[in-house]
């Protein structure tokens, strides 16, 4: 990896981390988990009639589908900077995508992202 690639990978990690912190990704994941728990509890309950289960489970399915699609869209928004930086990367988009698949690049993205989030939280807390 060259120095410009390392800098671009670091920038991509910071931008993606910031978007993950700012977008309601975790809230959406919790909402999806809550609907899944309600659905499982409804299915397992002996006190709820089959008629009621037949009526409520499609409602839960629609809610889960909506939450899943929104969660996917939020993740796409958070990861968009990683893809867009490839337009400015040396060697073009193909080289950038190839770089993103290398273990060293993945490790760098993870390390920079974790370091950025830890520093950001410490700075905000004072």
Cα distances from 93 to residues 20, 64, 101, in angstroms, run 23, 35, 13
At residue 88, the pLDDT reads 86
At residue 125, the pLDDT reads 87
Residues in the chain with pLDDT values less than 50: none
At residue 90, the pLDDT reads 87
At residue 95, the pLDDT reads 93
At residue 37, the pLDDT reads 95
- Per-residue pLDDT tens for 66-89? 999 999 999 999 999 999 998 888
Using the CB atoms, write b or e for 62-96: b if 16+ within 10 Å.
ebbeebeeebeebbeebeebbeebbeebeeeeeeb
Contact 9, 105 (CB under 8 A): yes
At residue 1, the pLDDT reads 84
* pTM confidence score: 0.78
At residue 11, the pLDDT reads 95
Q: How does DSSP classify residue 48?
A: S
At residue 75, the pLDDT reads 94
Residue with tokens 């509890």: 41
Rounded-to-integer distance, Cα 25 and Cα 72, Å: 9
């Amino acid at each position: 990896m060259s120095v410009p690639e390392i800098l671009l990978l670091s920038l991509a990690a910071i931008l993606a981390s910031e978007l993950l912190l700012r977008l309601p990704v975790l809230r959406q994941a919790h909402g999806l988990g809550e609907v899944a728990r309600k659905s499982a509890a409804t299915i397992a309950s002996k006190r709820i009639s089959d008629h009621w289960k037949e009526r409520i489970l499609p409602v839960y399915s629609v809610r889960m589908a909506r939450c899943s699609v929104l969660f996917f869209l939020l993740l796409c928004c958070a990861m968009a900077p990683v893809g867009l930086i490839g337009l400015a990367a040396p060697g073009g988009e193909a080289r950038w995508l190839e770089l993103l698949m290398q273990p060293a690049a993945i490790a760098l993205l993870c390390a920079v992202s974790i370091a950025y989030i830890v520093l950001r939280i410490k700075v905000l807390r004072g």
